[in-house]
Amino acid sequence: MDLKVDARKCTGCRICEFACNYHQDETISSIGSSLMFYFEEKKNYYGMMVKRAKTLYLGRPEGEQLLKPGEQIEGAGASAKPILLRVACDCCEDEDDGPLCVRACPYGVLSLEG
């Protein structure tokens, strides 16, 4: 199973990041999340990145993109770099009611596939 992002439904509320962080270390923050919002504010260009076990998944408004280690993250900007140090998404396997980010999102942006 993998987490999937429908970036065109996203409104940038970012609660998914904080929900993921809560799953990872039981606090509310964004720095330990496997998800990362990336944002070029003046262009209002935004989407979500997901750190997977062996790849980096980009949910961009133009479409999805999957990057392997070492591949260039085109256009993700400086705000994207810290995700490479993050814990990989485990799809909240130990959560009875499913991934916390999926539950927290008000807009149906996130889902599991596979």
Partner 1 sequence: MELMNNYKETILIVDLDAKQCDTESLSEDMVAAGLGGAGITAALYERYKDRDPLIIGTGFFTGTFMPGGCAGVVSAKSPVSGKLCHVPFGGYAAVELKLTGFDFVVVLGSSDSPVRLWLHDGLSDIDDASDIWGKDVWDSVDKIREAYGDEMIQLLVIGPSAEAQSKAAQFSVNYWGSFDKAALGAVFGAKKLKAIALRGLDSLDVAEGFFGACVDLKNAICSGAISGKSGLKDIARDIGIDAGAIEKLASMTHRNNAAYNCPYAAAAFVKYNEAPSAMDMKGHPAPGCLITDIRGFAALHGAGLDAGQAMEQCFRQGIEPEAAAKAGKTEGVSADAGKAAAFSTAVPASIFGSGQGDAWWQKRQALAAVLGIDPMLMVMAPEITEEKIVALVQMSAEWDEFSADELNRIAADVIAKSA
Q: Which residues bind partner 1 (CB under 8 A)?
A: 8, 11-15, 18-19, 21-22, 25-29, 31, 39-45, 60-62, 75, 77-79, 97, 100, 103-104, 106-107
Nearest-approach distance from CB 87 to partner 1, in angstroms:
15
Burial of 55 (0-12, 13-18, 19+ CB in 10 A): middle
Let me know: does 101 contact 19? Beta carbons within 8 Å.
Answer: yes
Nearest-approach distance from CB 21 to partner 1, in angstroms:
7
Task: Give whichever of 42 and 53 is closer to partner 1, judged by the CB atom.
Answer: 42
| Cα–Cα distance measured from residue 13 to residue 19, given in angstroms and rounded to the nearest whole number | 12
Task: Give whichever of 40 and 71 is closer to partner 1, judged by the CB atom.
Answer: 40
Instruction: Please report the sign of the dihedral spanned by the C-alpha atoms of residue 102, residue 17, residue 2, residue 71.
Output: positive
Task: Give whichever of 53 and 78 is closer to partner 1, judged by the CB atom.
Answer: 78
